[in-house]
Chain A
Amino acid sequence: MKLIRPYGDTSHDGKIQLSFTLPVHADGQGIEAAKRLATQLGLLNPQVVHAEDIHEGYAFFVVYASVKFDLDLDQIHVEEALTERKSREEIEVILQENFDRELVFVGASTGSDAHTVGIDAIMNMKGFAGHYGLERYRGIRAYNLGSQVKNEDFIRFAKKVNADVLLVSQTVTQKDVHIRNMVELVELLEAEKMRERVILIAGGARITHELAKELGYDAGFGPKSYAEDVALYAINRMIANKSKP
């Protein structure tokens, strides 16, 4: 058992800060409402350190308080897409040793999403933050279809080039627009009997591995992921699939 609490300036003081807006005035009643909010969240000794009217009938609060419970770190397990990191050179060696053909990666920012910087970071030659993209990998043929690519078109292209790995980037998440779009892709892949034949990977600032798995993807990658991570994951999966009877 490893018990922890938030750390302010003393071990185990449990201090946290909150800020929020309530539809109230920043008067006695409003401040009390902010305090109650914290109390009902289970926080101890809430202190409303700032209260300010920001619009007629709306006030902004900053609150400090303590939590009164411990978390057992040993009880917390997360599944991550990747447990190790390797360099591009190391990955190229693995590719060479295990495959006698180029692996085909097809990526796009799909649906109505117009953000390309994320998928470009993973795929384009020049890469991102010092990490070259998949286009530069020996042993990988990478097709980056850009943004606002319809799921139908994405699949059509993947079929045409016999894709091994599909990379889906989703940046806009408001009103869960990404979820609808991501689920639609899985459904279309299933209808085309393609889902089992490809490794399906999603990525984006608000994408987690957990979410991606839940939506029927093999893996999900969030911020600070690079081409190496995706390549390694996909390759490991393909090697594992190969050895399956």
Chain B
Amino acid sequence: MNQFHLDPSIIETCRQDAFLIADEVLSMVEQHSTVSVERSVLRLIGVDGVNDLLEPLPNMMVDEVYHHGDLSKGISRYLASALFQSGLNLTEFQQAYLKGQVQLITPHLEDLDTCRNVLKPYLQKTFDRIAKNRDTRHRFLEKETPRTTDLYVIVATGNIHEDVIQAKAAAKAGADIIAVIRSTGQSLLDYVPYGITTEGFGGTYATQANFQIMRKALDEVSKEEGRYIKLVNYASGLCMPEIAAMAAIERLDVLLNDSMYGIIFRDINMKRTFIDQHFSRMINAKAGIIINTGEDNYLTTSDAIEEAHTVLASQFINEQFAFAAGLPEELMGLGHAFEIDPSVENSFLYELAQAQMAREIFPNAPLKYMPPTKHVTGNIFRAYQQNTLFNIVTQYTSQSIHLLGMMTEAIHTPFLQDRYLAIQNAKMIQTSMKSISEELVIKEDGLMANRAKKVLEDASLLLKQVKESTLFQALEQGVFAGVKRPQDGGKGLDGVFQKSPDYWNAALDLWEVSR
């Protein structure tokens, strides 16, 4: 498997530097929480529902304490005290809350032990459900022979019922993973929409009800096909940890969950993102959800040859953030992509080198490999050809999560036939080149080996440089994707707050006890 014989000491230095980079950020994270973290705690406790204005209960409750109480103590104390004093159970309390008959802010907060006792049964119920979900997934998967590569396709009709038709068709044609792309703009909503949705732009709203519908449909196909079909959504944007909580509850299997994507591509404030990603990844670790990181996106705004090392550097950083949240390597779907301009001489060899390098540096990670997108044009025949090349790289380098390229990438979100043809393309490569990696060896000290070496060295230099400043400064300087973000700019900063010394997070508390 190991062809490039990359210098292990450089790799080790990269990991150490990335550790220090992440560690510095995490000491800020430690001291803070966000409105979305607090809302996810409510969701884990079982708070759910909306008022007449379709405002979610978790938002109403957190907003109440944010404006009229002291959120720096955490939402858990408030809910526990209010529940305790009302004498109602959670369901009754929520109904009364919606009617305006009870409030979260009460004359005094109960002591910690009382609060713990009040919330424990509710949280335990959710945790049991999450554990059961893990078990269900495990039982499905242990019956199959593990695959080297899972074929991943997206559905994005905007209508969850239409998505179901497309998802089932894709699974039957051979897709192993289905992602429901979110509607344009959802990442900037500071709440999670509620209920079943049938209208979205460029995607379908991520809601708990939609998760449920798709999970059920995919379970049906899984049984019919004798193959577990994994479900993906996006824990990104302003509601990152809430989506993670909902996904854990509804047994999603994979979540897009990058530590920096929101900062770079959505202009979300960096503190907000770092705090949110940490809690969301803790939930993912608990739920056995594979995360997918978003390094592939860097190559849409910066050049894939010149900036290849930023992808690797970012993978190291994402890896450390993931470890810090308790995710094992087996759940780290680090991202990269086939985005070199195909008109560049030997571009295919550079792609192969990068992919093989990633495989060797992260041997246990279920790497997520993204298809050509940026250099895809309206010439669908050329796009099909690019996708074939991409499929060959995956076959040779054993990428784990292979996101299929669509011939209509430059035009629209995929048609039924686009997806089918893409799956056929990948299957043909998988069959016709089944043993290629055992048969063909990469030349020592050749163009590809030297390319991999160079990218690793450049990544190592970059990490050193970031370590010497800080990740915050690196983001201000536009190190990743060429996008610059000010520390105190971006969306969602007003939802970040410092924890007071008596801050209490009921979910974390119970995790720690059970760990």
Contact = CB atoms under 8 A, between A and B. Distances in A.
A21 B184 CA distance: 27
**Interface footprint category on A:** 20 to 34
A6 B104 CA distance: 72
A155 interface: no
B184 A60 contact: no
A55 B420 contact: yes
Interface in B404-437: 410, 412-413, 415-417, 420-421
Contacts, number: 60
B323 interface: no
Interface string A56-86: 1010100000000000000000000000000
Interface residues of B, number: 27
Contacts of B168: 55
Nearest to A59: B417
A163 B413 CA distance: 35
B188 A55 contact: no
Contacts of A103: none
Contact of B301 (A112, A120, A172): A120
B201 interface: yes
B410 A205 contact: yes
Contacts of A172: 184, 201-202
Nearest to B187: A114
A120 B420 CA distance: 34
A21 B165 CA distance: 14
Interface string B26-59: 0000000000000000000000000000000000
Given A19-B417, A174-B158, A114 B265 contact: yes
Given A117-B300, A117-B301, A148-B188, A55 B173 contact: yes
A174 B377 CA distance: 17
B185 A54 contact: no
A113 interface: yes
A58 B417 CA distance: 9
A147 B50 CA distance: 30
A193 interface: no
21 contacts: A20-B417, A21-B416, A55-B173, A55-B420, A58-B169, A60-B420, A60-B421, A112-B184, A112-B185, A112-B188, A112-B201, A120-B301, A146-B267, A148-B188, A172-B184, A172-B201, A172-B202, A174-B158, A174-B201, A174-B412, A177-B202
What 3 A-B pairs have minimum CB-CB distances, sorted nearest first?
A: A112-B185, A55-B169, A54-B420
Given A54-B417, A56-B172, A114-B265, 19 more contacts: A20-B417, A21-B417, A54-B169, A54-B173, A55-B172, A112-B188, A112-B201, A114-B184, A114-B266, A117-B300, A148-B185, A148-B267, A172-B184, A174-B158, A174-B184, A174-B413, A175-B158, A177-B201, A177-B202
